[in-house]
Amino acid sequence: MSRYWSPQVHQLSPYIPGEQPRIPNLIKLNTNESPYGPSPRVMEAIQAANNETLRLYPDPQATALKAALAQYAGLSAEEVFVGNGSDEVLALAFQAFFQGRTEPLLFPEITYSFYPVYCQLYQVAYKMLPLRTDFTLPLTDYQQPNGGIIFPNPNAPTGIAVSLAEISRLLEHNQDSVVIVDEAYVDFGTESAASLIQRFPNLLVTQTFSKSWALAGLRVGFALGHPDLIEALNRVKDSFNSYPLDRLALVGAQAALEDLPYYQALNQKIIASREQLSQDLTALGFEVLPSKANFVFARHPHHSAADLADQLRQNAILVRHFKHPKIDQFLRITLGNEEQNQKLIKTLAHLV
Ligand code: PMP
């Protein structure tokens, strides 16, 4: 508390990301990073940087990366925006589309916990809509007056996805405000809504290099949408940070996009391990929600999730537990590599 702070800062409750502790031999399954490294081309591109490239500012327009992303998404470069992780892209989108509206921004009650934080930070009115009792997302509830809509697909931390047909129906009924589909986990088996961008100029799709591209440390995210929406994001960005990405991030992300076969194989491997881990957890008595992400959300009928998370931690395995009363019986477990997943199952077998 300080008399120098603006009143708004006093009211902020900052977002606390999953911890990144330094415990030897830790199996870290708490923040949905990839258990595998990125394409070797990424390090090659980063190592090719030299004093001369680092001496100079990066390209403020990120032209080469945007062109590569446009080709990847089957869109034009005017339909692409890049930022330091999708968190930054979302922050700019909240300012560009939701700030100053009288109607509330709608998002699920159980979802990515950054959304209410951004609402506080940018003073956006919001309304959280409950999930169904089976934790699926009832998109038809979102057909009500609003100043915008945002939801992840698949949702976090449940991992449950909605279909493209449901998103399309929502967009047909909601053409007066911006709808953001946060596709942080889309590459693990969900169809992207990017194919709807030509039909709906109010649709913004965000994605990240932090999960399926195995580059969380590089901080690269992007948005796809009608040039009109991208222009608004550029206006906010240019008023705030005219160099969206540093030179290493730019070349690293671009190199990743040049090795799609590597990533297709990686995603298949992660999807297969999700099915295996879900089966193994079910065999131990867990109820596992049907995940389309690189994590599973599971609860045990006879064991407290908080206790299990503590006990796993004592065994150097870190998973995520949320205190929200509607989901505090669940553990969110990021998929590790095969050995890590087996170690997790072995450890849990002693605990339940
Ligand atoms: N959206 C969702 C739903 C997420 O879970 C995350 C990762 N925590 C992000 C966005 C942000 O990811 P990043 O900033 O690393 O791109």
Q: How far is residue 222's CA from residue 32's CA, in Å, rounded to a whole number?
A: 18
Burial class (CB in 10 A: 0-12, 13-18, 19+), 40: exposed
- Structure ipTM: 0.99
Q: From first to last of the 352 residues of the chain, give the pLDDT tens digit.
A: 789 998 878 888 877 777 777 777 899 999 999 999 999 999 999 999 998 889 999 999 999 999 999 999 999 999 999 999 999 999 999 999 999 999 999 999 999 999 999 999 999 999 999 999 999 999 999 999 999 999 999 999 999 999 999 999 999 999 999 999 999 999 999 999 999 999 999 999 999 999 999 999 999 999 999 999 999 999 999 888 888 899 999 999 999 999 999 999 999 999 999 999 999 999 999 999 999 999 999 999 999 999 999 999 999 999 999 999 999 999 999 999 999 999 999 999 999 9
Nearest Cα to 335, choosing from 217, 153, 185?
185
In this predicted structure, what is the pLDDT of residue 243? 86
Name the closest-CA residue to atom 4, ligand 1.
Answer: 184
Atom of ligand 1 nearest to the CA of 31: 8
The residue whose two tokens read 């508390």 is 1
CA atoms within 13 A on the CB side of 8: 8
Q: Is the CB of 108 under 6 A from ligand 1?
A: no
Which residue pairs, CB below 8 angstroms and at least 24 apart, start in 342-347?
Answer: 343/27, 343/317, 344/27, 344/29, 344/277, 344/312, 344/317, 344/319, 345/277, 345/280, 345/281, 345/284, 347/312, 347/315, 347/317
Rg of the chain, C-alpha, whole Å:
20
Pocket test for ligand 1, best of 84, 111, 112 (most atoms within 8 A of CB): 112
Q: Is the CB of 184 under 6 A from ligand 1?
A: yes
SS3 297: strand
pTM for the full predicted model: 0.96
Pocket test for ligand 1, best of 82, 150, 182, 185 (most atoms within 8 A of CB): 182
State in Å: Cα 283 to ligand 1 middle: 30
In this predicted structure, what is the pLDDT of residue 66? 98
Q: Is the CB of 112 under 6 A from ligand 1?
A: yes
On whether the CB atoms of residues 78 and 233 are closer than 8 A, the answer is no
